[in-house]
Structure 1
Amino acid sequence: MIRLLALSLAAALLTSAAPVRPPRIVSINPCIDAVLVRVADPAQIAGISHYSQDPRATSIPLGIANRFHATSGTAEEVVALRPDMVLTGPHTEPATVAALKRLHITLVQYKVPESVAESITQVRDIAAAVRHPERSAALAARIAAAATPSRATPVSALIWQSGGLVPGSGTLPDELLRRGGFRNMSAAYGLKKWDVLPLEYLIAKPPRVLLSTAAAETGEDRVTSHPAVRRLAQHIAVAPYPIRLMNCGGPTIIDAMARLRQVRSGFAA
């Protein structure tokens, strides 16, 4: 009896001392992909979002993104990869959520960060979820360094997206503008957090810099081709701003701040 107890105790100790296998992860959100590839072991990553393999949308170097299997995020695709955990953003297909719950696969959803601080917290949370919390420190430090506020006098600016959609106060792009040495003109037009600015308002009260996502895609956009805006050319500078810099926090902040500082350097301090 004593020998059996001793063997049972030894087995329990060996079991408790055995290393825990890191979870097998599928990410179906490109913003999370960008963090995941920096904090997880490659062997842990069973799948990433197909957007991360799109040159226009990815926040990951394509050479790295193409090493991983990509999915469109359907329940069938995700389940077939046999993950322990699925990481995604705030909006996920109900069918996918239901399938994961039915199969007892952990689903972790992250909201879109609205500040640099929230982005850094999210990096740390993702690193902890994949059981490599120590790997978040270097990336968090790079993001914080890239987002160091400019001391230059702010230049009025506006980020203009397709259809006139403009980010306002309380958004991550608004904070990055301020940190990059700009003053977001959204508030001057009385716009909400995310709002549409009519072209007439822009013409009546133009910013010094218009950061255009359409110009980044095609080299021009509807705004800059408008005759009235062309007449304002001596008062307004149009700078291409890739749409991929609008959608994510995390390491995308590093690239967004580099672009904003590049544009700001074209103006007197």
Structure 2
Amino acid sequence: MILAFRALALAALLAGGAQAAPLRIASINMCADQLLQTLADPEQIAGLGPYSRDASLSWLAEDAKKYPRLTGEAEDIIALKPDLVLAGKYGKKATRDLLDDQNIKIVDFEVPRSIDEVKAQVRRVAEIVGHPERASALNEKIDAAAARARAAAMQGHAKILAVSRRGWVAGTNNLLSSLLATVGLANAAGELGLKSGGFVSLETIIAAKPDLILVAEAAPSAEDQGKALLLHPALDRNYPPESRIVIPEQLTICGGPMLPAALDRLSEAMGQITPKPRL
């Protein structure tokens, strides 16, 4: 009887009806984790994904310590007996198959590529947890930050490359490009043919002559070989601090509650940077 009632409540909610009872929801996707943390009641959260407590990646890592951390494997999810699981669309098939076998509902999320897509996901999760008013509040904050960013936008057509470990350059078909465009910056990865991103050499970065670069740390430590390119003297020479925008990865990997902070960091940077003159 209890299981039947919960199933009916879940069906009504997913169909857009009123929530009859709190749902117990687990997430195995870092971006969905943070939407759930922001929009659900604490008692609705059954568990969060394996990277939920990683402060270098998750904006809400400290808050995540209040909840069970899942490995992403089916066994520990099943043990929690959630009513619903939030997952990335391209997660492990074996996990999904086992959850299907247990009749555990999975709601998939695509990677958002624009501010509008982020806002749509915010509304979707808020509907699932039964708190649409929280989506309205968060999306109003996102809109306000986007308006501040547009007001601070750089005039002209400055180009920027987002460079990270081992020379990974963020492509043009992603949320970061959408954020950069809001402040009048064009992702120069398009000139390198990097729609989805890719690894490039230091020589390629310098030859591309972006006006600015975006990095996750102002002064990265040489803790491993992965950061060697970011510490190279040639990069320092060509892109001193005034030609760099620094935004931590935790603000740009996902879309959601961190978006206002990411946009405000970009807005602030617009008054501090000096694009490198093109030769």
- What TM-score range do you get, normalising by the shorter chain? 0.7 to 0.9
Residue by residue, what CA displacement relative to the aligned partner does 1:187-233 show, whole Å, maximum 9, x if unpaired?
23343332333321222232232112365653894334334334425
- Give the 3 Å change call, closer, same or farther, for CA 216–33 of structure 1 in structure 2: farther
Residues 38 and 233 from structure 1, CA distance in 2 versus in 1: closer, same or farther, beyond 3 angstroms?
closer
Question: How many residues end up aligned between the 2 structures?
Answer: 251
Deviation at 1:53, TM superposition (A): 1.2
1:173 has 2:167 as partner? no
2:14 corresponding residue in structure 1: none
Deviation at 1:147, TM superposition (A): 2.0
Q: Is the 8 A contact 1:161 1:213 kept in 2?
A: yes
Q: Does 1:141 align with 2:140?
A: yes
2:70 aligned partner? 71
Aligned with 1:109: secondary structure? strand
SS at match of 1:78: helix
Mapped contact 1:224–1:238 kept (Cα < 8 A) = no
Aligned AA (2:258): T
Deviations 1:218-259 (A, max 9, x none): 389433433433442569723433222332111222222122
Match of 2:165 in 1: 162
Aligned to 2:271: 265
2:32 matched residue in structure 1: 32
Q: Which residue of structure 1 lines up, in the alignment, with residue 215 of structure 2?
A: 212
- Aligned CA-pair RMSD: 2.6
* C-alpha distance in 1 between matches for 2:221 and 2:161: 19
Tell me the amino acid that sits aligned with residue 100 of structure 2. K
Asked if 1:47 corresponds to 2:47, the answer is yes
Deviation per CA, 1:90-123, whole angstroms, max 9, x where unpaired?
A: 2322222122111111100101101100000001
**Cα distance change of structure 1 residues 41 and 216 upon mapping to structure 2, 3 Å threshold:** farther
The one-letter code matched in structure 2 to 1:139 is L
- How far apart, in 2, do the equivalents of 1:126 and 1:19 lie? 13
Deviation at 1:159, TM superposition (A): 0.5
- Look at both structures and tell me which one has the larger radius of gyration over its CA atoms: 1
Q: What amino acid is the match of 2:176?
A: P
Give TM-score scaled by structure 1 length: 0.83
CA contact (8 A) 2:165 2:229 kept: no
- Check the 8 A contact 1:181/1:261 in 2, yes or no: no
Aligned residue in 1 for 2:248: 242
- The answer to whether the 8 A contact 2:54-2:61 is kept is no
Structure 1 residue 48, shift from structure 2 partner: 0.9
Q: Is the 8 A contact 1:50 1:71 kept in 2?
A: yes
Gap regions ≥5 residues in structure 1: 1-17
Q: 1:264 Cα deviation (Å)?
A: 1.9
97-106 vs 181-190, which moves further: 181-190
**SS of the residue aligned with 1:114?**
coil
> Quick one: which amino acid aligns to residue 216 of structure 2?
T
Assess if the C-alpha contact under 8 Å between 1:30 and 1:59 holds in 2.
no
AA aligned to 2:244 is V
Alignment of 1:94-173 (within 5 A): 94-148=93-147, 149=150, 150-153=152-155, 154-173=157-176
Find the residue that maps to 2:52 and give its secondary structure.
helix
* AA in 2 matched with 1:20: A
Deviates more, 1:27-36 or 1:158-167: 158-167
**TM-score, normalized by length of structure 2?**
0.80
Amino acid in the other structure paired with 1:89: G
CA distance, structure 1, for counterparts of residue 232 and residue 126 of structure 2: 47
2:191 paired with 1:192: no
How far the C-alpha of 1:61 sits from its partner, in A, is 5.2
